[in-house]
Amino acid sequence: MGLNIAVRRPDWRAAVAAGLCALSLAGVPAVGQAQARELPDFTELAERMSPTVVNIRTTERVRSAQGGGEMDDQMREFFRRFGIPLPNTPRRNGPPTAPDEESAPQQRGVGSGFILSADGFVMTNAHVVEGADEVIVTLTDQREFKAKIIGSDKRTDVAVVKIDGTGFPFVKTGDVNKLKVGEWVMAIGSPFGLENTVTAGIVSAKQRDTGDYLPLIQTDVAINPGNSGGPLLNLRGEVVGINSQIYSRSGMFAGISFAIPIDEAMRVADQLRATGRVVRGRIGVTIAPVTKDVAESIGLGKPAGALVQGVEEGGPAQKAGIEAGDIITKVDGRTVDKSGDLPRIIGNTKPGAKATLQVYRRGATRDLAVTVAELEPDQARRVAKAESPASAPKTAIGLTVSDLTEAQRKELKVRGGVRVELAEGAAARAGLREGDVILSVDNVEVVDARQFNAAVAKLDRTKPVSVLVRRGEWTNYAVIRPSK
């Protein structure tokens, strides 16, 4: 006799609905509700902030012996901004322009900006207005104004221009210190001249060191030529940065954009509005990063600080006793974590003020007092150079060295040191070559070839050895590793 069993299939739709209902009742949001809360709505923000953003066009009078060529305005801005030489362009039809003949004003670029105050001060990038004879600012209501350049600062890529009038809508600045990685941000600008274009994304990283004077905010907000100078806004409608650069192999947006932090930009803008220029401090050194190998080999521990490669002759650092090969680890008690921190810290120090630098030299730290000077545009630096003389036997680490002549020591302004005549084996693999000048071995200052050879003879040949090397104008550490 067969057994008939009725099996009831569960209604999965009802079960899911019941589960979601139970989660909602328990205070846990359903998936759709969570997404609705997580994904921001930019409509109100875009409507409110767009009137504060402006389009900037610039013109210049071009002198040319060839009559110039035709090129799309946005492409000109693209080539200028991303460091690509302008290609040869076809000549216009008609008779050639006479040599040195000044043509009519030609549009040279487009960019963006945002209004800082009701009386018409506008912030943008320095590269947007660089070389311009005329700056034209267009508002969202299509009013156009000829703007006056109040000042620009190439080192930070910040500029301030002024339009005449009152009652302009203006931005509110935010606190960059409160900005978080992963936070939603929005940009408004004129990519390719398309005014008031809104794009959005998240903060990808903060304090991104790109080699510029300032650490930058990295985002994935779509930025293209013409966006330069526009605001980066948080969800509260506060400006947290100025969109300035992109990272791209093609020149177009590739998912990585950079913005100048607004707090740093405002410090520059305040000086530009007050005096038309920016005053910064300097101490007269050329620096490089401290690598992990160098830090370990000289006993510094971790790779931190700024390695002094060269010292300006007669500059503040030289007067304070700073030497090539020193590693600057602190300024007035403020830690220099990486080499890029030093110019920013010193740059923000008032010229004429005294600063205490902590330096690491040959295994020990010391404090040196330096009087900060003013950084001038394109400051010329005169750094001692190295040259040559005679020879000696090859050492265990593959170096043949000779004494420096008195004239060479005087030119290099060093007490001792030896010249490399031949680099082989481990020394050659470490990058040393003829003409290099060795100033120290394993944190011991080198006096002459005899003392150098004696010091090398005492080294443990199974361990790496650090040597401080002068090459031309620059000084750096090299780590010589024994063959395995």
Amino acid at 254: A
- Domain pair 173-275 / 399-480, same fold: no
pLDDT bracket for residue 407 (50, 70, 90): confident
How high is the pLDDT of residue 455? 84
33-37, 85-89, 122-126, 177-181: which range is least confident on average? 85-89
What stretches of 321-414 show up as alpha helix (H) in DSSP? 341-347, 406-412
Spatial neighbors of 402 by CB under 8 A, at least 6 apart, are: 389, 390, 391, 392, 418, 419, 421, 449
Average pLDDT (118-141) is 93
Which is it for strands 364-371 and 63-64: parallel, antiparallel or unpaired?
A: unpaired
Residues 6+ apart with CB under 8 A from 286: 308, 309, 310, 311, 312, 381, 383, 473, 474
- Per-residue pLDDT of 291-346, as tens digits, reads 998 898 899 988 999 999 889 889 999 999 999 999 999 999 999 998 888 988 99
DSSP class of 140: T
What's the pLDDT at 366? Answer: 95
* Better-scored residue on pLDDT, 411 or 368: 368
Mean predicted confidence (pLDDT) in 348-352? 91
Task: Give the tens place of pLDDT for each residue, 214-272.
Answer: 889 999 999 888 899 999 999 999 999 999 987 766 556 778 899 999 999 999 999 99
CATH topology of domain 399-480: Pdz3 Domain (2.30.42)
| Across 48-53, average pLDDT | 96
- Answer left, alpha or beta for residue 478, where phi above 0 means left and psi between -120 and 50 means alpha: beta
In this predicted structure, the answer to whether residue 387 has a pLDDT above a threshold of 90 is: no
Q: Phi and psi dihedrals of 273, rounded to 5? A: -70, -30
The residues carrying an active-site annotation are 127, 157, 228
Residue ranges of the domains in the chain? 50-83+99-162, 173-275, 281-374, 399-480
Whether the pLDDT of residue 373 is over 90: the answer is yes
* H-run or E-run covering 394: none
* CATH, range 50-83+99-162: 2.40.10.10
The larger pLDDT score, comparing residue 133 to residue 213, is at: 133
SS3 letters for 54-95?
A: EEEEEEECCEECCCCECCCHHHHHHHHHCCCCCCCCCECCCC
| CA 178 – CA 326 distance, rounded (Å) | 35
Report residue 454's pLDDT band, with 50, 70 and 90 as the boundaries.
Answer: confident
Task: Determine the Cα–Cα distance for residues 187 and 182; give it in Å rounded to an integer.
Answer: 15
Looking at residue 37, its pLDDT comes to: 59
Take residue 271 and report the two structure tokens written for it.
Answer: 């000086």
CB 116 within 8 A of CB 233: no
The helix or strand, by DSSP H or E, that contains position 331, with its residue range, turns out to be strand 327-331
Contact partners, residue 116, CB within 8 Å, separation at least 6: 122, 123, 160, 170, 171, 269
Residue 459 has pLDDT above 80, yes or no: yes
Report whether pLDDT(87) > 50: no
| Pairwise pLDDT comparison (180 vs 384), residue with the higher score | 180
pLDDT at position 430 is 84
CB atoms within 10 A of CB 5: 5
Q: What is the pLDDT of residue 231?
A: 96
pLDDT of 162:
97
Name the token pair of 87: 């290609």
Q: What is the pLDDT of residue 382?
A: 37
- How many CA atoms does the CB half-sphere of 360 hold within 13 Å? 21
Q: Residue 196: which pLDDT band, with cuts at 50, 70 and 90?
A: confident
Give me the pLDDT at residue 7, please. 38
Name 297's bridge partners: none
Question: Across residues 146-159, what is the average pLDDT?
Answer: 93
Fold of the 173-275 domain: Thrombin, subunit H (2.40.10)
Q: 384 pLDDT exceeds 70? A: no
From the candidate CATH numbers 1.10.1660.10, 3.90.180.10, 2.30.42.10, 3.30.1360.120, the one assigned to the domain spanning 281-374: 2.30.42.10
- Enumerate residues 6+ apart whose C-beta is below 8 A from 454: none
What the block records as the tokens of 9 is 């299939």
Q: What is the pLDDT of residues 442-453, one digit of tens each?
A: 888 888 888 888
Query: What pLDDT, on the 0 to 100 scale, is given for residue 241?
Result: 96
pLDDT, one tens digit per residue, over 60-86 is 765 544 444 444 555 555 444 544 444
Spatial distance between the Cα atoms of 18 and 425, rounded to a whole number of angstroms:
76
